Amino acid sequence: MTRCRQLHLEWLEHRGRTCLRVRGWAESEWHGFGVMASALDRRLSILPSDVLESGVDFRTVPTLAGELIMEHASVCFVPRFPFMDGTSYTLLVYPDGRSEGPEAWAIRRPLPPSAPHTEALAIYPTAAALPVNLLRIYVHFSGPMSEGWAGRAVRACCEDTREVLEEAFLPPDPELWDPERRRLTMLLDPGRIKRGLAPNREVGYPLVEGATVKVIVDTEFRDASDQPLKSAVKRSYRIGPALRSRVCPEHWRLKAPKIGSLGQLKIQFDRPMDHALLQRGLTVCDADGVPVPGLGAPGASEESWLFTPDSPWGEGRYRLLVEPRLEDVAGNSLLRVFDRDVTKDEPPPLRGRRVRLDFSCASTP
Amino acid sequence: MVEYGTAIHVEDFGLEVGTPTVRSVGPLTFGPEGILFVADNVGAVIFAIDVGDSNNGRPQSVDMTNFDTSLASYLGCSRDDLAIRDMAVHPRSGNVYFSVIRGSGDAALPVIIRVSGGGAISDVPLENVAFSQTVITDAADKDDPRLVTREKLRTVTVTDMSYVDGLLLVAGTSNEEFSSTLRRIPFPFNGDVDSNSLEIFHVSHGKYESEAPIRAFVPYQGNASILASYTCTPVVQFSIAEFEPGKKVMGKTVAELGAHNRPLDLVSYEHGGWEYLLVCNDRHPLFKIACKDIDVQGPLTVPDDSLDESPADPVTPGVGVPRQLLPHAGVKRMASLNGSGVLMMQQDEDGNIHLHSYSVESL
């Protein structure tokens, strides 16, 4: 009468792994396990409890990958893959021969105690006004994040009507992260941005020209330890006309610092540029082409770039080198317009070479 | 129980026995002698792994209902904790391989799963296996002259791979530039990646030229051509003969998929002496294209008004290559069963994932 006995399930560290130990076997069934090596596998199986509740016939699914071991009057299950925190597992004990239904004993892996501690630090662009053909946004987090949440936790809506802009973002599959999983790139649906393509003709731009659009990152976004964010983050943009022209460094204004100073070099753009590409799209060199050590960073609204040298500026000429793949917020680069109209007199894509702008620092009065 | 052992002379392909540092698993494709290429988008690495599948038996069809539930049970998690990234069929044994991530964040566990013709699930050990690897480098950083230290923020996420005549073709998406780059990586790996990258453009209706990342692609016509699908929805044909490094490659747009409909996967097969391609999408039904129709199809030069009139149901396109809709619902991934048919991973309306094999006669 094995069903009268009480089995005890517990977690146990065994050979550096968390195992499941089952004690409390009746003497008769314990001896039954030992008669044949395969008896244990026939009599016992372990499944995630979800599987038993899914409606799928549990007799048709494989048991958890791992090994059952008899040890000191108990049975230990050593999993091939670690048990998952917060997941419930069920041990099925079949009567000899599996002629009757099994007994079920469940145990849940505990969740480690924790509290939300990760924040969304910023949403880029930061410009208040953006073109309707905005191509992408970036979300920066204070710690590593989990994949699988971007499609659910990032949304855009009209600020006035609070109406969510359905499918404004390209479904993030795959999600685009930096190596540390701290910066997420979200693309607005490029098929809706490109002129002439069916999605653009059918449903129009992802954003609404003339509206104020709010981008929201919800707290449900999970960090790498599966915790939600501390708080939601929002940023609003006024949406203006489409921006469709090649990025032309000739249209930028350079404000040079004074010779002998550690003043900032300021490059004022004619449009908001892509925040990420600004991080490495501009280089300051001396007259010999040697990079000047210092720190460059996007200015307000990504409409400027500021460079502070490590050593004072000298008297000679300097060069600003511009990477040809530098893009504005609408994906136009030095090389090409994002979607070029080949029937109009728009210049064809260029082959990529860095563009050079020369400047000298001002003399001290 | 099927025994798996070393099937190839690994040294011929530069593989060495060891334990690869696999941080993630994504797109899969088989190369010569059953070597499995696995893209690791977290580690920015592509591995070539001898999966030790020496079974030369006839490919068997695989049919499993509720495959995701079986997989969740095997891996000890709930279905919600599973992400099935890709699927590939071993060219000789017919066993099916999946790249799967169990869990997320710090607890994410990358696994290569093998399903035999009988439906038995096992995993490919990633310890003490014969492997080689190549890093997916970022071409634009190679000659970056700057001295200032920059955060390593830039990545390339591999979206699809195919092996063609000694080259591994790799499509990827940058997390910064919106470009269309097809990397050509010689195999055995020798570190030569960047010099073989191609920039690819497509033209919509003879009017708008643009770049976009390739989402999925499939070689056909004996590897003379490629049919690619883009994140911005066109289906585009390229001739591999035009793939010369440094050359601007123009594709021929042969079909559009319509709004809110992303291309997911493509597969080719032959039947009755003709070659066909299947394209699955996340909204619209699976459709079939005869390769001979692509050959005679000129590039799309006018918009397909039938999509405007009936955007939810582009049954018969007004322009573009003729497409035949097939009834197979919820197809997420496809793989050729080595010429005999097509394996499809299908998701039903309740979110359950099933595997079904279809003979070429039935398609």
Can you tell me the ipTM of this complex?
0.91
* Residue A40 near residue A33 (C-beta atoms within 8 A): yes
- Residue A209 in domain: yes
Q: What SS3 state is found at A192?
A: helix
- Residue A114 in domain: no
**In terms of domains, do A226 and A165 share one?**
yes
Q: Which of B74, B79, B81 sits opposite A84 (nearest CB)?
A: B81
Q: Do B76 and A84 touch (CB under 8 A)?
A: yes
Residues near B143 by Cβ (< 8 Å), separated by ≥ 6?
Answer: none
Measured distance CA(B318)–CA(B26) in Å, rounded: 36
Q: Measured between beta carbons, which residues in chain A are less than 8 angstroms from residue B205?
A: 196
- Residue A275 in domain: yes
Q: Measured between beta carbons, which residues in chain A are less than 8 angstroms from residue B307?
A: 198, 201-202
Find residues 333-352 of chain B whose CB sits inside 8 Å of chain A: none
Q: Which of A50, A185, A340 sits opposite B209 (nearest CB)?
A: A340
Q: Which pLDDT score is estimated for B234?
A: 86
- Residue A171 in domain: yes
Token pair recorded at residue A61: 């699914």
Measured distance CA(B259)–CA(A197) in Å, rounded: 9
Q: Alpha-carbon dihedral of residues A172, A178, A184, A186, nearest 10 degrees?
A: -50
Q: Do A199 and B83 touch (CB under 8 A)?
A: no
Q: Which pLDDT score is estimated for B195?
A: 47
Residue A229 φ then ψ, to 5°: -75, 155
How are the residues of chain A apportioned to helix, strand and coil, as percentages rounded to the nearest 5? 15, 40, 45
Residue that wins the pLDDT comparison between B250 and A76: A76
Burial of B65 (0-12, 13-18, 19+ CB in 10 A): middle
Token pair recorded at residue A175: 């999600």
Q: Model confidence at B305, in pLDDT bands (50, 70, 90)? A: low
**In terms of domains, do A128 and A220 share one?**
yes
**In terms of domains, do A33 and A104 share one?**
yes
Nearest one of A235, A243, A134 to A189, comparing CA atoms = A134
| Site of tokens 């239904």 | A101
**In terms of domains, do A214 and A127 share one?**
yes
Q: What is the residue type of A306?
A: L
Q: Do B146 and A291 touch (CB under 8 A)?
A: yes
Edge to edge, what strands does the sheet with A304-309 contain?
A253-255, A265-268, A304-309, A294-298
Q: Which pLDDT score is estimated for A350?
A: 75
**In terms of domains, do A143 and A236 share one?**
yes
Residue A310 φ then ψ, to 5°: -75, -30
Number of domains in chain A: 3
- Please compute the mean of the pLDDT values over residues B157-172 and round it to a whole number: 93
Measured distance CA(B29)–CA(B87) in Å, rounded: 8
DSSP-assigned letter for residue A128: S
- Residue A365 in domain: no
Nearest one of A255, A266, A253 to A299, comparing CA atoms = A266
Q: Hey, which residues does A83 pair with through a beta bridge? A: none
Mutation target to probe the B interface, by most B beta carbons within 10 A, among A53, A91, A138, A197 is A197
Q: Do A291 and B105 touch (CB under 8 A)?
A: no
Measured distance CA(B178)–CA(A188) in Å, rounded: 11
Q: Do B256 and A198 touch (CB under 8 A)?
A: yes
Residue that wins the pLDDT comparison between B178 and B76: B76
Find residues 161-200 of chain B whose CB sits inside 8 Å of chain A: 173-179
* Residue A358 near residue A288 (C-beta atoms within 8 A): no
Q: What SS3 state is found at A110?
A: coil
- Please compute the mean of the pLDDT values over residues B250-271 and round it to a whole number: 86
Q: Which of B83, B212, B311 sits opposite A202 (nearest CB)?
A: B311
Q: Where are the alpha helices (DSSP H) in A95-229?
A: 150-153, 190-193, 198-203
Choosing from A86, A108, A130, the residue where a domain stops is A108
What sign results for the dihedral spanned by CA atoms A260, A264, A269, A274?
A: positive
Residue that wins the pLDDT comparison between A20 and A363: A20
- Please compute the mean of the pLDDT values over residues B173-188 and round it to a whole number: 88
The answer to whether residue B321 scores a pLDDT higher than 90 is no
**In terms of domains, do A30 and A81 share one?**
yes
Q: Do B205 and A196 touch (CB under 8 A)?
A: yes
Measured distance CA(A57)–CA(A59) in Å, rounded: 5
* Residue B208 near residue A175 (C-beta atoms within 8 A): no
**Residues recorded for chain B:** 363
Q: Which pLDDT score is estimated for B139?
A: 46
**In terms of domains, do A48 and A23 share one?**
yes
The answer to whether residue A152 scores a pLDDT higher than 90 is yes
How far, CA to CA in Å, does B74 sit from each of A83, B68, B155? Answer: 11, 10, 32
Measured distance CA(B277)–CA(B229) in Å, rounded: 12
Q: What SS3 state is found at B195?
A: helix
| Site of tokens 């090649």 | A246
Residue A325 φ then ψ, to 5°: -85, 5
Chain A nearest C-alpha distance from B35 (Å): 24
Measured distance CA(B114)–CA(B242) in Å, rounded: 37
DSSP-assigned letter for residue A292: P
**In terms of domains, do A256 and A234 share one?**
no
The tens digit of pLDDT for each residue in A273-327 reads 999 999 889 999 999 999 999 999 999 999 999 999 999 999 989 999 999 989 9
Choosing from A108, A139, A163, the residue where a domain stops is A108
Nearest one of A316, A330, A328 to A205, comparing CA atoms = A330
Find residues 91-130 of chain B whose CB sits inside 8 Å of chain A: 101-109, 111, 120-121, 123
The tens digit of pLDDT for each residue in B26-57 reads 999 999 999 999 999 999 999 999 999 876 66
- Please compute the mean of the pLDDT values over residues B142-156 and round it to a whole number: 56
Chain B nearest C-alpha distance from A121 (Å): 16
Q: Measured between beta carbons, which residues in chain B are less than 8 angstroms from residue A187?
A: 178, 231
The tens digit of pLDDT for each residue in A28-69 reads 888 888 756 577 888 899 999 999 988 899 889 999 999 998
Q: Measured between beta carbons, which residues in chain B are less than 8 angstroms from residue A293?
A: 147-148
Edge to edge, what strands does the sheet with A17-23 contain?
A8-14, A17-23, A74-79, A66-71
- Residue A113 in domain: no
Q: Which pLDDT score is estimated for B204?
A: 73
Edge to edge, what strands does the sheet with A129-131 contain?
A129-131, A233-240, A212-217, A154-158
H/E segment holding residue B298: none
Nearest one of B86, B90, B115 to B31, comparing CA atoms = B90
Is B354 within 8 Å of chain A by CB?
Answer: no
- Residue A23 in domain: yes
Nearest one of A198, A186, A214, A204 to A329, comparing CA atoms = A186
Q: Where are the alpha helices (DSSP H) in chain B?
A: 67-75, 291-296, 305-309
Q: Which pLDDT score is estimated for B285?
A: 86
Q: Left, alpha or beta for B105 (phi > 0: left; psi -120 to 50: alpha)?
A: left
Q: Which pLDDT score is estimated for A33?
A: 81
Q: Do B173 and A176 touch (CB under 8 A)?
A: yes
Choosing from A240, A263, A290, the residue where a domain stops is A240
The tens digit of pLDDT for each residue in B90-144 reads 998 899 999 999 999 999 999 999 999 889 999 999 999 999 999 987 644 444 4
Q: Model confidence at B316, in pLDDT bands (50, 70, 90)? A: very low
Please report, for the domain that includes residue A77, its CATH number. Answer: 2.60.40
Q: Do A276 and B153 touch (CB under 8 A)?
A: yes
The tens digit of pLDDT for each residue in A201-247 reads 889 999 999 999 999 999 999 999 999 999 999 999 999 999 999 99
**In terms of domains, do A256 and A144 share one?**
no
Q: Hey, which residues does B266 pair with through a beta bridge? A: B279
Q: Hey, which residues does A356 pair with through a beta bridge? A: A321
* Average pLDDT value over all residues in chain B: 84
Q: Do B178 and A198 touch (CB under 8 A)?
A: no
Measured distance CA(A219)–CA(A227) in Å, rounded: 9
Q: Which of A82, A176, A180 sits opposite B157 (nearest CB)?
A: A176
DSSP-assigned letter for residue A181: S
Which residues form the domain of A285?
Answer: 249-360
Q: Measured between beta carbons, which residues in chain B are less than 8 angstroms from residue A183?
A: 153, 175
Measured distance CA(B290)–CA(A281) in Å, rounded: 45
Please report, for the domain that includes residue A310, its CATH number. Answer: 2.60.40.1220
Q: Hey, which residues does B203 pair with through a beta bridge? A: B209
**In terms of domains, do A12 and A29 share one?**
yes
**In terms of domains, do A88 and A17 share one?**
yes
Q: Model confidence at B312, in pLDDT bands (50, 70, 90)? A: very low
Q: Do B72 and A48 touch (CB under 8 A)?
A: yes
**In terms of domains, do A127 and A103 share one?**
no
What chain B holds in terms of domains, given with CATH numbers, is 1-135 (no CATH), 153-326 (2.110.10)
Q: Which pLDDT score is estimated for B303?
A: 58
Q: Do B73 and A280 touch (CB under 8 A)?
A: no
* Residue A186 near residue A169 (C-beta atoms within 8 A): yes
Q: Which pLDDT score is estimated for B219?
A: 94
Q: What is the residue type of B354?
A: H
DSSP-assigned letter for residue B360: G
Measured distance CA(A23)–CA(A30) in Å, rounded: 10
Measured distance CA(B340)–CA(A152) in Å, rounded: 40
Q: What SS3 state is found at A233?
A: strand
Give all strands (DSSP E) within A241-361, no chain letters: 253-255, 265-268, 282-286, 294-298, 304-309, 317-322, 339-341, 355-360
Measured distance CA(B319)–CA(A272) in Å, rounded: 38
- Please compute the mean of the pLDDT values over residues B238-263 and round it to a whole number: 81
Q: Alpha-carbon dihedral of residues A191, A193, A195, A196, nearest 10 degrees?
A: 20
H/E segment holding residue B173: strand B167-174
